């Protein structure tokens, strides 16, 4: 087989339908748009949610909740991921590990507001961790391996 002998499978490429080119084409006259009306015209966009003057459904429903603009955004790290980084030689056992050390080792891409430690996976190494938040299971797993977890206050985005 040569490069100039390559071709698509049958039916893989479909020709564009030329609309509005006579009744014999099958897509003449109205060009597949039906008859008259706003939707048959060009440039129609905002009529899908219009209900004929009636108050639209999305405006009838009550608003709920509140989105805090400067809410803290944590990066989640599982203890299994930390063990994998230690096994790969990216993190050193016994040294204090914080968000900057995790970014430097390539475990995280960025620290955001802080690190949230979660307990998925298994940890064998003795680690001294400094994080913004740690789950009870993660804390127990680190302490079982002989390490320690220190929780420091996280910084919100706006501060």
> Given this model, what pLDDT does residue 155 score?
64
> Given this model, what pLDDT does residue 156 score?
58
> Given this model, what pLDDT does residue 50 score?
81
Contact between residue 142 and residue 79 where contact means Cβ atoms under 8 Å apart:
yes
The pLDDT tens digits of the residues spanning 117-140 come to: 999 999 999 999 999 999 999 999
Residue 76's nearest CA partner among 109, 116, 132 is: 116
> Given this model, what pLDDT does residue 95 score?
87
Q: How far apart are the first and last CA of the chain?
A: 64
Domain boundaries of the chain, sorted by first residue? 74-151
State whether the Cα torsion 39-43-48-54 is positive or negative.
negative
> Given this model, what pLDDT does residue 44 score?
74
> Given this model, what pLDDT does residue 41 score?
84
Residues of the chain with confidence (pLDDT) below 50? none
The pLDDT tens digits of the residues spanning 44-61 come to: 766 777 888 899 888 999
Query: What CATH number belongs to 74-151?
Result: 3.100.10.10
């Amino acid at each position: 087989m040569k490069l100039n002998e390559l071709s698509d499978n049958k039916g893989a490429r479909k020709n564009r339908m030329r609309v509005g080119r006579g009744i014999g084409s099958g897509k003449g006259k109205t060009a597949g748009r039906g008859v008259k009306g706003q939707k048959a015209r060009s440039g129609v966009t905002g009529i899908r949610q219009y209900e004929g003057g009636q108050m639209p459904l999305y405006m009838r429903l009550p608003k709920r909740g509140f989105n805090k603009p400067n809410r803290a955004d944590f990066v989640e790290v599982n203890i299994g991921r930390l063990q994998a980084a230690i096994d790969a030689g990216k993190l050193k056992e016994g040294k204090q590990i914080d968000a900057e050390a995790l970014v430097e080792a390539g475990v995280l891409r960025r620290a955001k507001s802080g690190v949230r430690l979660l307990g998925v996976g298994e940890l064998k190494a003795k680690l001294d961790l400094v994080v913004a938040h740690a789950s009870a299971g993660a804390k127990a797993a680190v302490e079982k391996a002989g390490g320690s977890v220190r929780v420091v206050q996280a910084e919100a985005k706006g501060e």
